[in-house]
Structure 1
């Protein structure tokens, strides 16, 4: 990225300012500009030099209205003016658009040119900015293009979580993955040239458009309008966790092979690192919910031996060990609600109806209070009703597969009768070859397609969690946003097995609550 760019990571800095400020400009025609005033004040000579180094001398000579909180010389004595990046951060952290006098001030949170929020408030008999007192005789200086307040110290530029990740030592692996998903584009149309640097190159008050799909999912860590708790793995923690996770993301060559496996594994590592709000003592919490929705009970163990770092938009905890349990994070049960048709559910010789359990004797026992009713449309014993459920997002690993049935007695007045069903599994074998509708035998083992599978009988009067089979999938099958449902390689077919002559004892309709795949750890 070009030197001297102010990385205001937004679509347009003017829009961001307008969102935060409604203060009307207060200027005095014929007065010096802000730059001229500061250059003429002997006790601001260091800050004046910093304006020139950063290019803000040009910006603060323009007719737009600004407020500057100018630190006096003594407070800047330790600043190395050769560190131009630090100089620019300090300057931009003391400049904002529009005018902010102390009149009628109680407390305001000001959005600065640096992209940070700093409190400007009345304190006792005076006023403060970022905790530093305004000098009473040198405050509210009305100028041609804004206001200057001289202050008794400079407000240090504090990195946010994203900036910390980009700079901190020992976070190279995390940084490399997140940065690989980032895109920065210089918006020349909305950027303003504010001067030149020591090499004669143009310096811009820049608008940089920034996008990162991973941050969109886990938290916009580069912005200051939300506060987070972040668990940041060191290189050691990252390597150890990656080696543990990667076996669950083996990927077919046709789907990207080792490169895709690496991406999926790394994405899994970051998916539960961020939590909303700043928690200085996370070990005292009963539970903690990640920004991706996973709940960690008694979460203190996640932060064991970590080191806290206070940042401008939250608290980061550096850790040498990611202590997540697989079942809490990347390898959770897969639940497919039977009434969910969004993945391309198919059926034969049946009509399908979504029914509610609310108000029934089984209210509270049925997932999401809904189930799928499968009514046969024929009376033939050779054309049994079936419904097939595509199951997305299976990992490479072992699962116990179940089908949960709701008894027909959920309908008032119906006698409790069990279901008789057959199960068929579609999957990829170890060679990556599709196996379609493999029947399940009486020992719950997969059979060769085409053979006659076993009949399984549900309980008659209660919700029945029927064990189908255990299978170790050799490849993961991740369905990304926008992928067609035809990409799903795992499917479970449930077939009614009650013959016409058996309807006195068994039910020919099927009521299916959900399919669940439970990882075998």
Structure 2
């Protein structure tokens, strides 16, 4: 009986001691006090993360950001362990926001993982709610305390709550968006650029990610379908617009910048009496903004021309971007465009016209546009009828050639002082072309084997001689020579065996420069040497890369 009493007393003492021990551990774990964990001071509180943040007046700025962006509501709905990053009011007011997207910023400051300082390792990555990874740095300082950093921010304090950890930082976490995320999240202030890119997105059924959930009446599998967004338009250029592994440069023009550039382009066209498809101009304002390498301020300052992934020329001495405030991307860098000029070589693909209109001119117009010395009109002959290198896509062309005889055959020389004009077949009116300043290739077309040299001057200045030897070849035969085709002509898809003869520039005589600031008329003077007759097909001005 005595022994039983002793055992009972000992049991009571042991149980009581256990409760005392448990109570001490509970007090130690949940009371608001500092403890040393992994050589880092950590405050432990017996409150949830949400309650603690709400109770601390020093975190009101951060609390309001998390609240108005819906992050706190989402945390309450999930009701999971978490890690939250905060700044105190002083640091929040003194540090610049890394992005204007408040929701993206707020979601960068919470993770679904509750991770203690002791479980953090140097080089570790932590996934946060905006889908980005935060890089962890962890080193031991001279005072033998651990210094922890997350991306660009340093940890000042750690709070252990009942459902996770709060890390107080000295700066906002900068989790850069990717190039695609940057574009897709642009505000309506940039909608013209944003929408022109997003319009090329395609939804593609991902069979591997989709689950079979049944069979339909035909016996075919029915999927719980998963679709992925792709952009083959960019992929064709070897550029995955959605890849985090891209190392790229993005330029961002606002609607105001684009509209201003379009207005200037149309003003140029109007002054020159020319027309251009609006879609081509708008397309350039998108295609010129992507580069497949990361360009620094120095690159833009020291390089005159950089070419986009679409081969569009960006002349750094003309275009204006905000180089002092780059936006760091997870896969490159972005700059905002402050002033944009659609180049003249985009506004004008080429100015090309034909001598065949001579037969439609009045005598006064002939005297104005075809001033001749020792030339008498002979005839106009059709050399090619109703032909296209790409039937159904490009229109049929008819090659007609203007022939002149020498008025005095014994002199063996002639002069044609020609002014470039366009002829309105509907209204039967000829008006002179007005060409904006810039650099152009002057290309001409005659007829093969014309048999004599032709000296050529442009706007009063001698620029070169087309020799009889050159005219023996096909270089200047009609418009079969030269460097270009009609815009959009894909020779690989053309069907005619003589497809390479279709509507090209003609032979290049020289590079000419038009100075000044205003458009000018085109005057081409032809001087034939040792000639007996002559024939003319066309003339063409093709802007060079320096016609910007």
Q: TM-score range by the shorter chain?
A: 0.3 to 0.5
Q: Which is helix-richer, 1 or 2? A: 2
Q: Which structure: larger Rg?
A: 2
TM-score after normalising by structure 1: 0.45
